[in-house]
Structure 1
Amino acid sequence: MQGGVRKRGKTWSYFFDMGKVDGKRKKKEKGGFRTKKEAETALRNALTEFDRCGSLIDESNVSVSDYLDYWFKEYVLINLKYNTQQYYKTIINKHIKPALGKYKLKSLTPTAIQEFLNKKQIAGFSRNSVSNFYGVLSGSLKAAVHPYQFIKQSPAQYVKMPKFNNIESNNKLKIITLEQFQTIINRFPQGSNFYVPLQIAFNTGMRAGEVCGLTWDCINLEDSSIKVEKILIGKDKGIWEFGTPKTESSNRIIDIGDTLIKILKQHKTWQKENKLKYGKYYKDSDFVCTKENGQNITPNSIKYLSRVVNYELDIDFHFHSLRHTHATMLLESGAEPKDIQARLGHNKISTTMDTYTHVTKKMKNTTVNILEGILATQK
């Protein structure tokens, strides 16, 4: 690329050729520099910025912390959903930056990353959490190679996930028994704020955001199905809005049985009665999960529910437990794994089977027993 400096009157300016734009050759020139040296320095900076399409980061000295800020702004905020953005921000600010942020990006080694992940595993973080830490690091460093061209290769490609105890990982699914679910329902019976959200999650395996975002136009009581096409997500200062489901496969239709249909019909009647009862004080909406005054149930309300179940009922519980319990019950009862995958909205059946390895082990044992029964009849 051609460029240079020249003196114009009492000041210096730099110039360089930008090539052809719309068939015409363009030239960049900027003046006002007091000395020739200042103009030459500005020219080098301008050429570097032009070569890198306007990026203001100096890749030779950028720290991991500053680079992650750049990646978050240029990629995460543009391409990922709000909840994922907030989760990535937490991972970056609370975990990655304190451990690795001080390093220069070009000096970050596989050893430093491996030690970071190992320490998180030793500290008691779950496989899923450590995997997410690694995922954010790996994704950001891959982008640093291409398209950003800050480094020539990613040090994360030489790092391995620490080994985890599979049994401990499965126990963290917090699967509850039918008796425990009945105890929860006795605490939150029909007419309480959480009765319907609990029943929907237990009978469908839907996620909390999907349950809270459910509207009546997505429920077909005649066809006995629920269409999952949106979630309720929280913005700052108590603002809630609809978002798209977690993945493309999370957009799904779930068949439901007579038990849940009866509950939903009764709930719809209950809402109409409350609308007449509260009159102008009723918050009218199309939400399925509402309080008596029509105010919709939010994921924050669900967190309160989980706290009550844990501390008042002494049941190790998270609302997601209902999703795991739903899948476990069906798999143990002989339902087709492919059908479970569709109900849960997993993109791959391997996700379903890997998540519920404790169930698949039991299924394998059942298969062996069936085989032994067949062979016994031949003796």
Structure 2
Amino acid sequence: MSYQEHIDRYLVPHLGEAVLEELTPARVQRAFEGIAGHITPRGQRVAAATVQRVRATLRAALNTAVREWLLGSNPANGLRLAGGQSARPMVWTEQAVADWRNSGVRPAVAVWTVEQTRAFLDHVSGDRLYALFHLVVMTGLRRGEVVGLRWEDVDLERGTVRVVRQLQAHRGAGLVEVAPKSAASRRTLMVDHTTVGVLRRHRWRQQQEAQEHGRVWDRGGYVFTAVGGGVLAPERLSRLFRKLNTASGLPPVRLHDLRHGAATLALAAGVDLKVVQAMLGHASIVLTADTYASVLPQVAREAAERTASLVLRDAGRVRRQVWGRAGRRGSVLVPPGSHHGPTTGTARLSHAQMRL
């Protein structure tokens, strides 16, 4: 969610009528109690992490007022808020899907498995914006970033996509181009050859659309557009995604959850955490690690198997060597029977064991 959305959705309704000098700590506290009780369009209370981010937006604005001598102190500094730890992505495992179907309760942040992601892409393969969903699934682009892409940012020969802007809705100004969320968000992504092929086909189809519409086509140079070539509004894209998600029969996720899914799938494929951080445009690897500490179940399972393989491989040979050395030195390094890993060949007693 952007700073502008924080202002429009939460701060203006609760503090918009207040004169700057009237913003006492008590007034701000009451406002945030109201914000915390706000019900989202999905019928849920605003997440504590969202309230924390809205507070950060207000505090930054009021710090500017303090620096310009419009306020003596920042009334948002002493706010008492509930803990705002962001919800970690939960994978739609078979059990999670069954629980959701029985109770109707869905997690705040959820991601599809590999099979579910593949099923969604198959479902939308005929949609005119298939390339957009494919790109988000593979790269984790934010909503504003993907609708803000221009063809000048895409190099199909080198297989790169540059993130240099995002589109946001601003009250009274419509859709405007703004800088990426942070310095780390300004990045260049490498895309695989399949995705390059998808983008090539999308460009060809877009050119066919432009010819059909003729002068009506809006030639703004955006990679993904509304029908007729107009700018694709982020919220309109979210509504389309919800409609496609429902029609697919898959468990519900948000459009932004495709970003989380891209990260978890990359980790499942063995991509280094530092690379995932760069792909997502996170300023800190700590944020990446904390958000995706709990990933696809098979990732944890494969990690356990790899660890066991590393520790237990050639265990029989190692044990014989250890016991042989122990016999020569008159000391026992590993107690008999303490290790039950796999052995190779027929088990035989060492000289040290025979003496015991």
Under TM normalisation by the shorter chain, which class is it?
A: 0.5 to 0.7
Q: Give the total of aligned pairs.
A: 295
Deviations 1:321-374 (A, max 9, x none): 211111110112221111111111111111211221213998677656544433
The aligned counterpart of 1:174 is 110
SS at 2:248 equivalent: coil
Letter of the aligned partner of 2:11 in structure 1?
I
* Structure 1 residues 154 and 360, CA gap change in structure 2 (3 angstroms): farther
State how 1:37-186 maps to structure 2 within 5 Å. 83-95=2-14, 105=23, 108=26, 124-139=45-60, 142=63, 146=67, 148=69, 150-151=71-72, 156-157=77-78, 159=80, 161-162=82-83, 171-186=107-122
Compute the RMSD of aligned alpha carbons: 3.9
Give, in whole Å, the separation in 2 of the partners of 1:169 and 1:148.
46
Match of 2:207 among 269, 272, 275: 272
Give, in whole Å, the separation in 2 of the partners of 1:338 and 1:210.
21
Instruction: Kindly indicate which of the two structures has a greater share of residues assigned to helix.
Output: 1
Give, in whole Å, the separation in 2 of the partners of 1:217 and 1:329.
28
Match of 1:329 among 265, 282, 296: 265
Instruction: Kindly indicate which of the two structures has a greater share of residues assigned to strand.
Output: 1
* Structure 1 residues 148 and 226, CA gap change in structure 2 (3 angstroms): same
Asked if the contact 2:140/2:258 (under 8 Å) is kept, the reply is: yes
State how 1:7-22 maps to structure 2 within 5 Å. none
Deviations 1:180-204 (A, max 9, x none): 33443344324x3321211111121
Give, in whole Å, the separation in 2 of the partners of 1:142 and 1:280.
48
The aligned counterpart of 2:295 is 359
* Structure 1 residues 370 and 164, CA gap change in structure 2 (3 angstroms): same
Instruction: Pick which of 242-251 and 170-179 moved more.
Output: 170-179
With structure 1 as the length reference, what TM-score do the two structures score? 0.64
Give, in whole Å, the separation in 2 of the partners of 1:125 and 1:210.
24
Give, in whole Å, the separation in 1 of the partners of 2:120 and 2:70.
54
SS at 1:92 equivalent: helix
Q: Which runs of 5+ in 2 are unaligned?
A: 92-106, 320-356
SS at 2:237 equivalent: helix
Q: CA deviation at 1:124?
A: 3.7
Give, in whole Å, the separation in 1 of the partners of 2:88 and 2:242.
25
* Structure 1 residues 165 and 207, CA gap change in structure 2 (3 angstroms): closer
SS at 1:242 equivalent: strand
Instruction: Pick which of 344-353 and 233-242 moved more.
Output: 233-242
Matched, 1:343 2:279: yes
Q: CA deviation at 1:154?
A: 5.6
Asked if the contact 2:150/2:222 (under 8 Å) is kept, the reply is: yes
Using CA pairs below 8 Å that are at least 6 residues apart, which structure has the higher relative contact order? 2
The aligned counterpart of 1:226 is 161
* Structure 1 residues 102 and 314, CA gap change in structure 2 (3 angstroms): farther
Give, in whole Å, the separation in 2 of the partners of 1:358 and 1:102.
43
Asked if the contact 1:142/1:154 (under 8 Å) is kept, the reply is: no
SS at 1:200 equivalent: helix
The aligned counterpart of 2:309 is 373
Asked if the contact 2:37/2:46 (under 8 Å) is kept, the reply is: no
* Structure 1 residues 373 and 111, CA gap change in structure 2 (3 angstroms): same
* Structure 1 residues 107 and 296, CA gap change in structure 2 (3 angstroms): closer
The aligned counterpart of 2:196 is 261
Q: CA deviation at 1:256?
A: 0.4
